[in-house]
Amino acid sequence: MSFVPLVFSGVQPTGNLHLGNYLGAIKRFVEMQATHDCIYCVVDQHAITVWQDPFELKKQIREVTAAFLAAGIDPVKHIVFNQSQVPEHAELAWVFNCVARMGWLNRMTQFKEKAGKDKENASVGLFAYPTLMAADILVYRATHVPVGEDQKQHLELARDIAQKFNNDFKASIVSNGHDGELGYFPQPEPLTQGPAPRVMSLRDGTKKMSKSDPSDYSRINLTDDQDAIAQKVRKARTDSEPLPSEVDGLKERPDADNLVTIYAALASKSRADVLGEFGGSQFSVFKPALADLAVSVLSPINTRMRELMEDPGHIDAVLADGSERAGAIAAKVMGEVKDIVGFLRSRKS
Ligand code: AQP
């Protein structure tokens, strides 16, 4: 016996959706649809772990949904919805807050990075973010999670939570008719081996490309037009050497490595193939080729996103339908979790 394969992943509606989110996550979401049942979520409850302007947040939720659809996610065959419309995510997160240990959460590097020096002033939600993320995945008993490399540690925590829940409640899991050896929750597999699991800043090849970087030149936004994309690639930081002919020659050259990785991911080629073509070239030759490629891949997505954003009613209907279908799965799982934990079921579940 094993768990039914199911993919779950999410993106926060925190504005400035960028090439890293696309290559590290959304592009993979699209590919996974061919082989798996998939649930893709706009994780708005995660977004408010840091302050969000309520007027902007609504727009950003629709924008991430538009990006999913424009990139090629099919909301009929699969499920697209926003987290806050399915209350079972928060409900299971509470149970997981009581399963996870403080020591585990204290080790999370993303909290340390995001809270910075002013840890005392960070929200409790930012600290507990990984338990909500575990609940997002496990409330569907999902088995596979495509994410960028930055989320790997959180995924490992989700696996630890699933395992501890299965151990802590083993007797109750069995008495409620589930397989005691398998446990109630699967151990979700992180899928981080995409073409560009870690896209770096265009201004600093040692830093992750990120929505919250104050410099807009550090990232290519999915909403950037052709001119903006070309300008950002032109201004991307590089060194003065020509490109090497072998991948080994990219060591110690993080900016060059980043641009070659981006090219390879956009062209669905290996870095070796890209260097086979451009090895020995100056950046004055490589950058225009990269800009053209980025425009050719991102422009259709950008155009479709704009069209979709002009019809918020359609986006809201997609989310409502997705929430209905996601909610049906989540309610069943949450009902069983209540039985296992020892809660009495409510009238609804
Ligand atoms: N630079 C990146 N390279 C590859 N993948 C990335 N992801 C994010 N940045 C990169 C992946 O995108 C998915 C959605 O991310 P998210 O919006 O949920 O949160 P995040 O990882 O916090 O995104 P940012 O851009 O880094 O936001 P800020 O600046 O707020 O921290 C995830 O699968 C993530 O791995």
Give residue for tokens 């062209």: 267
Task: Determine how many CB atoms are found less than 10 A away from the CB of residue 43.
Answer: 23
Return the residue whose CA atom lies nearest to atom 34 of ligand 1: 148
Known catalytic residue: 208? yes
CB-based contacts of 315: which residues, under 8 Å, 6+ apart? 62, 65, 66, 69, 308, 309
Structural domain boundaries in the chain? 6-196+311-341, 216-308
Distance CA 26, CA 229 (A): 19
- Note the pTM of the prediction, 2 decimals: 0.95
pLDDT digits (tens, 9 = 90+) for 285-299: 999 999 999 999 999
Please give the pLDDT value at position 348. Answer: 66
Please give the pLDDT value at position 148. Answer: 87
> What parts of the chain have a pLDDT lower than 50?
none
Pairing of strands 37-42, 189-191: unpaired
Known catalytic residue: 211? yes
**Cβ–Cβ < 8 Å for 258, 309:** no
Query: Which of the four CATH numbers 3.10.200.10, 2.130.10.10, 3.40.50.620, 3.40.50.10860 does domain 6-196+311-341 have?
Result: 3.40.50.620
Query: Which of the four CATH numbers 3.50.30.60, 1.10.240.10, 3.40.1080.10, 3.40.190.10 does domain 216-308 have?
Result: 1.10.240.10
* Residue 341: HSE in the Cβ half-sphere, 13 Å Cα cutoff: 18
Q: 23, 64, 151, 262: which to mutate for ligand 1, most atoms within 8 A of CB?
A: 151
- Tokens representing residue 299 in the block: 């422009």
Transcribe 132-198 into DSSP letters: HHHHHHHTTT--EEE--GGGHHHHHHHHHHHHHHHHHTHHHHHHTTS-TTT-SS--PEEE--SS-SS
Task: Determine how many CB atoms are found less than 10 A away from the CB of residue 38.
Answer: 23
Return the residue whose CA atom lies nearest to atom 15 of ligand 1: 11
Please give the pLDDT value at position 118. Answer: 87
pLDDT digits (tens, 9 = 90+) for 181-239: 999 999 999 998 777 889 999 999 999 999 989 999 999 999 999 999 999 999 999 99
DSSP conformational letter for 60: H
Distance CA 25, CA 259 (A): 18
